[in-house]
């Protein structure tokens, strides 16, 4: 009997468009009923695969699958931060047991570099053990930090464009607020996500490409200090009477009582202190050279699930890169991550291609130095030319029912368990 | 020569719809060119009137005035937190000097109870000094804390409906996030505005009227402690494996390094510690009875300027209550605040009426005890019946130009100064 069933799963922090990669995989698999059997989703990513919790996607309705287009985050099939450590042979053995028990021939994993690393290891192990498994990675991270600094592995990761669009809007809105309240609250500090990578923070500039706003951008790659920030803010206040600061969550403000996830990455939303709050306290204690206060704002996960701010370009690309993974599985086999590459020239156009998992898994892309403006608190126009096409032109159309958003909801139908229970480490 | 010029001004924290009250005043005044002369806006509220900074609204284009519909916050004409103290005779004398110098016969002031108090005092003083001035208040506050507890002075304040709609959406989005990430981040704490008043916090329930989500609501009127909160959260985790906490900014978490505005009100966005962060730290230190972390989010001013989440009902009502103020000025004279009253019966319908300024100015409405559910962490269905019609059905249509929102922008054209400079206290 053929091993042609499919598992698709998600990992890491979600994005507004992650469900579109899921939908791309589902729709593409359904186009080839002779190639693919039953379609399952790992319930909470690799954790669900280990626990043999396989959501039956084949049993879900067409309408709910279509609604994945406008359903943000990972509520439908779940995600996780579980790390398959190299020394956890048991985890890998268990994975292959589950694949065998459910006749899984295809494994699609949607995630960042950590997840691509997982796909790569699973793929090698299956190969070593003679299990016929085609494992393909699908990129996802709002941080845009996957890939090489020449952008030849991937131009941008699905999710980034929507986070960028989010910030272009938030800064515009905050500017209206700031213009209004500046006589009492002259400084507003906004904290943006992006673990050690400034791409999201940089996108704040999309709100104001002509640089008319008193906006300062603090990316981790700029390596500025709290003291420099305070000096810059006071300088701006002298000129404009108000200042907006968009600061990356990993901006160095000293001890933040950091906590880490399973991969050893700091989880900024769970730490004892935020960069924004530390900056507000520092500025208010230093007595801003003006009357009034600095106030702060930590949007945290909102920027990775506010679907109304999603980029329609991003929604489309996330879908197609999911489809591409299926295309790779059919025509190229294992060892690849589906990717998005940009055509040369000034007309924005992308093509869907493949990148070697091994290379991608080890990549980490900081915000390029060449895109940081000489002031260190702004970006260059080259960055704007890179980012502007990503955010698109239009609002996404999010259906409303009875005054609230209509999101996809899957029925809790799972594959019958065939193995004994498994305890996660 | 007739004193028929008009000053309109805004005060306090803005809302997504405050500009619609401004637009209502402008459009209504323009309908009666025989009654009203030049139309000015106080630049940053009463501060601008004192400093004789009067933005010439008559000189602005029709298109920019129309765009006030979809322009949130107070960037166009500014707002302030300046308090005309009773012992500052100088301020009041100056105000009347400015009114006289610019032949102002009508003064419209958009704001919360503090602002209504200002209108009332200005009105009385003008009367005492024989200055013919018709001063009318226009309600505005997302907190919904203006009025009496029987809702006979005002049913709801313009701005509240949009903040309520914001939270109905944010909680839905956070639920998608929470379902996705609950194996690593089982608790998400969201901080809502509403100084000492739980109306905004309560609106979180609009996301889930059927009570399917593991959602807990902490209003200041519930008087719960950090310890009770932690117990409730652990209980929810036992049942659902995850928990969403929406907490009011004034929830008592101990010392927050509070700072105050000119009216003696705590400015939560500028304090050294937020309720959300204090709760996250308490929960993480107490070691939640589950794996993973609590994480927190402080949306702060976003909830009062995210125009895409604005309620279309609110936009319309804010406009009409602005128009009503002009109607009152023409037909009833000074001493009133324009107000919104709800018709009896189950069909949502409002009428625009007037309330005595003196009564409104001294009012402060907490969230009614009868609308707090027995659990103290939920609201009753009666509250939902009150709030549901306010959030409307549809998305507002916000124009986009070149990938960003198109907001109204007034030209900086001011009335010629006729008096000497005036220093604010």
Structure tokens at A226: 């709290």
Which residue from B79, B207, B262 is facing A404, i.e. has the nearest CB? Answer: B207
What pLDDT does B375 receive?
98
Among all residues of chain A, which has the CA nearest to that of B274?
Answer: A277
Q: Does A195 touch chain B (CB under 8 A)?
A: no
Which residues in chain B (28-47) have CB-CB distances under 8 A to chain A? Answer: 44, 47
Structure tokens at A36: 């693919």
Which residue from B207, B269, B305 is facing A173, i.e. has the nearest CB? Answer: B305
**pLDDT 10s digits, B119-129:** 999 999 999 99
Burial of B418 (0-12, 13-18, 19+ CB in 10 A): exposed
Annotated catalytic sites of B, by residue? 143
Q: Name the pLDDT band for B1 (thresholds 50, 70, 90).
A: low
Check: CB of residue A144 under 8 Å from CB of residue A157: yes
**pLDDT 10s digits, B244-278:** 999 999 999 999 999 888 888 898 989 999 999 99
Q: Span B181-186, mean pLDDT?
A: 94
Query: Which residues in chain A have their CB less than 8 angstroms from residue B386's CB?
Result: none
Query: Which residues in chain A have their CB less than 8 angstroms from residue B277's CB?
Result: 272-274, 277
Q: Does B205 touch chain A (CB under 8 A)?
A: no
Q: Does B87 touch chain A (CB under 8 A)?
A: no
Domains with residue ranges and CATH for chain B: 5-141+309-362+394-405 (3.40.50.450), 160-308 (3.40.50.460)
Among all residues of chain A, which has the CA nearest to that of B79?
Answer: A180
- B334 pLDDT above the threshold of 90: yes
- B219 pLDDT above the threshold of 70: yes
Smallest CA–CA separation between A383 and chain B, in Å? 16
**B179 to A74: CB separation less than 8 angstroms, yes or no:** yes
Q: Does B404 touch chain A (CB under 8 A)?
A: yes
Check: CB of residue B118 under 8 Å from CB of residue B357: no
What sign for the dihedral angle of Cα B139, B141, B142, B146? negative
**A304 to B272: CB separation less than 8 angstroms, yes or no:** no
What are the residues whose beta carbons fall under 8 Å from the beta carbon of A175, sequence distance 6 or more? Answer: A207, A208, A213, A215, A244, B75
Give CA torsion, residues A161, A163, A167, A168, to 10 deg: 20
Smallest CA–CA separation between B272 and chain A, in Å? 6
Residues present in chain B in total: 425
Q: Which residues on neighbouring strands pair with residue A104, listed in sequence order?
A: A5
Check: CB of residue B28 under 8 Å from CB of residue B73: no
Beta strand residue intervals within A132-273, DSSP E: 134-139, 187-192, 215-218, 243-248
Check: CB of residue B120 under 8 Å from CB of residue B150: no
Q: Cα–Cα distance between B226 and B187 in angstroms, integer?
A: 15
Catalytic residue among A143, A145, A316, A378: A143
Considering only CA atoms, which of A73, A71, A76, A68 is closest in space to residue A23? A68
CB atoms within 10 A of CB B266: 16
Q: Which residues on neighbouring strands pair with residue A68, listed in sequence order?
A: none
Q: Does A229 touch chain B (CB under 8 A)?
A: no
Which residues in chain B (273-302) have CB-CB distances under 8 A to chain A? Answer: 273-274, 277, 280-281, 284, 293-302
pLDDT by position in tens, chain A (length 425): 689 999 999 999 999 999 999 999 999 999 999 999 999 999 999 999 999 999 999 999 999 999 999 999 999 999 999 888 776 689 999 999 999 999 999 999 999 988 999 999 999 999 999 999 999 999 999 999 999 999 999 999 999 999 999 999 999 999 999 999 999 999 999 999 998 999 999 999 999 999 999 999 999 999 999 999 999 999 999 999 999 999 999 999 999 999 888 888 898 989 999 999 999 999 999 878 888 999 999 999 999 999 999 999 999 999 999 999 999 999 999 999 999 999 999 999 999 999 999 999 878 899 999 999 999 999 999 999 999 999 999 999 999 999 999 999 999 999 999 999 999 87
**pLDDT 10s digits, A372-404:** 999 999 999 999 999 999 999 999 999 999 999
Mutate to test the interface with A, among B184, B264, B299 (most CBs of A within 10 A): B184
Query: Which residues in chain A have their CB less than 8 angstroms from residue B210's CB?
Result: none
Check: CB of residue B70 under 8 Å from CB of residue B23: no
Which residue from A75, A79, A184 is facing B80, i.e. has the nearest CB? Answer: A184
How, if at all, do strands A134-139 and A104-111 pair? parallel
What sign for the dihedral angle of Cα A307, A313, A315, A321? negative
CA distances from B8 to A299, B93, B107 (A): 33, 19, 6
Q: Cα–Cα distance between A346 and A389 in angstroms, integer?
A: 10
**B395 to A394: CB separation less than 8 angstroms, yes or no:** no
**B180 to A10: CB separation less than 8 angstroms, yes or no:** yes
Structure tokens at B349: 């319908």
Query: Which residues in chain A have their CB less than 8 angstroms from residue B180's CB?
Result: 10, 14, 73-75, 78-79
Q: How far is CA B162 from the centre of its chain?
A: 9
Phi and psi based region of residue B417 (left: phi greater than 0; alpha: psi -120 to 50; beta: remaining) = beta
**A298 to B298: CB separation less than 8 angstroms, yes or no:** yes
Q: Does B74 touch chain A (CB under 8 A)?
A: yes
What pLDDT does B119 receive?
93
Q: Cα–Cα distance between A310 and A17 in angstroms, integer?
A: 7
Check: CB of residue B108 under 8 Å from CB of residue B122: no
Q: Name the pLDDT band for B207 (thresholds 50, 70, 90).
A: very high
Check: CB of residue B42 under 8 Å from CB of residue B7: yes
A300 catalytically annotated: no
Q: Cα–Cα distance between A302 and B14 in angstroms, integer?
A: 21
Tally the C-alpha atoms within 13 A of residue B396's C-alpha that lie toward its C-beta. Answer: 26
Q: What are the start-end ranges of the H helices in A59-191?
A: 62-67, 89-101, 113-128, 160-181
Q: Span B162-179, mean pLDDT?
A: 98
Smallest CA–CA separation between B298 and chain A, in Å? 5
Structure tokens at A45: 């990513």
Query: Which residues in chain B have their CB less than 8 angstroms from residue A78's CB?
Result: 179-180, 182-183
SS3 content of chain A, % helix, strand, coil (to 5): 40, 15, 45
Phi and psi based region of residue B204 (left: phi greater than 0; alpha: psi -120 to 50; beta: remaining) = alpha
Structure tokens at B293: 């972390």
Q: Does B398 touch chain A (CB under 8 A)?
A: yes
Which residue from B177, B267, B395 is facing A305, i.e. has the nearest CB? Answer: B177
Q: Cα–Cα distance between B264 and B244 in angstroms, integer?
A: 32
Angle at B225 between CA B240 and CA B216, to 5 degrees: 30
Q: Does A21 touch chain B (CB under 8 A)?
A: no
Which residue from A47, A168, A177 is facing B183, i.e. has the nearest CB? Answer: A47
Give CA torsion, residues A199, A202, A207, A209, to 10 deg: -120
Hey, is B381 helix, strand or coil? helix
Structure tokens at B181: 């990430």
DSSP character at residue A68: G
Considering only CA atoms, which of B366, B370, B362, B386 is closest in space to residue B197? B366
Q: Cα–Cα distance between A363 and A353 in angstroms, integer?
A: 17
Structure tokens at A104: 């899984």
Q: Cα–Cα distance between A17 and A392 in angstroms, integer?
A: 14
């Amino acid at each position: 009997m053929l091993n042609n069933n499919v598992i698709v799963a998600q990992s890491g922090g979600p994005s507004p468009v992650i469900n579109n990669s899921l939908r791309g995989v589902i729709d593409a698999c359904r186009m080839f009923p002779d190639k693919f059997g039953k379609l399952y989703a790992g319930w909470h990513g690799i954790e669900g695969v280990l626990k043999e919790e396989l959501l039956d996607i084949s049993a879900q309705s067409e309408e709910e699958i279509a609604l994945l287009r406008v359903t943000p985050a990972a509520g439908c099939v779940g995600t996780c931060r579980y790390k398959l450590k190299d020394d956890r042979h048991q985890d890998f053995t268990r994975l292959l047991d589950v694949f065998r028990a459910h006749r899984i021939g295809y494994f699609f994993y949607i995630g960042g570099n950590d997840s691509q690393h997982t796909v790569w290891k699973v793929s090698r192990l299956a190969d070593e053990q003679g299990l016929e498994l085609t494992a393909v990675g699908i990129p996802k991270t709002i941080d845009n930090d996957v890939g090489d600094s020449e952008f030849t592995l991937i131009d941008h990761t699905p999710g980034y464009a929507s986070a960028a669009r989010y910030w272009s809007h938030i800064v515009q809105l905050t500017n209206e607020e700031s213009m209004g309240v500046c006589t009492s609250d002259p400084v507003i500090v906004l904290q943006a996500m992006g673990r050690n990578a400034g791409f999201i923070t940089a996108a704040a500039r999309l709100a104001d490409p002509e640089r008319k706003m008193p906006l300062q951008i603090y990316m981790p790659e700029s390596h500025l200090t709290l003291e420099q920030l305070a000096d810059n803010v006071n300088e701006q206040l002298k000129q404009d009477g108000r200042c907006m600061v968009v600061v990356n969550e990993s901006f160095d403000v000293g001890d933040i009582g950091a906590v880490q996830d399973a991969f050893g990455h700091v989880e900024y939303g769970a730490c004892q202190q935020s960069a924004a709050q530390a900056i507000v306290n520092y500025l208010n204690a230093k007595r801003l050279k003006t009357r009034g206060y600095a106030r702060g704002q930590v949007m945290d996960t909102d920027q990775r699930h506010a679907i109304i701010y999603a980029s329609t370009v991003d929604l489309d690309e996330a879908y197609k890169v999911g489809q591409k993974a299926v295309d790779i599985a059919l025509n190229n086999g294992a060892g690849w991550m589906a990717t998005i590459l940009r055509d040369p020239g000034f007309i924005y156009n992308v093509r869907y291609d493949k990148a070697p998992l091994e290379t991608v898994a080890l990549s980490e892309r900081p915000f390029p130095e060449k895109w940081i403006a000489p002031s260190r608190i702004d970006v260059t126009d080259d960055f704007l030319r890179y980012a502007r096409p990503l955010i698109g032109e239009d609002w996404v159309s999010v259906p409303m029912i009875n005054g609230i958003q209509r999101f996809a909801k899957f029925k809790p139908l799972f594959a019958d368990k065939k193995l004994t229970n498994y305890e996660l480490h």
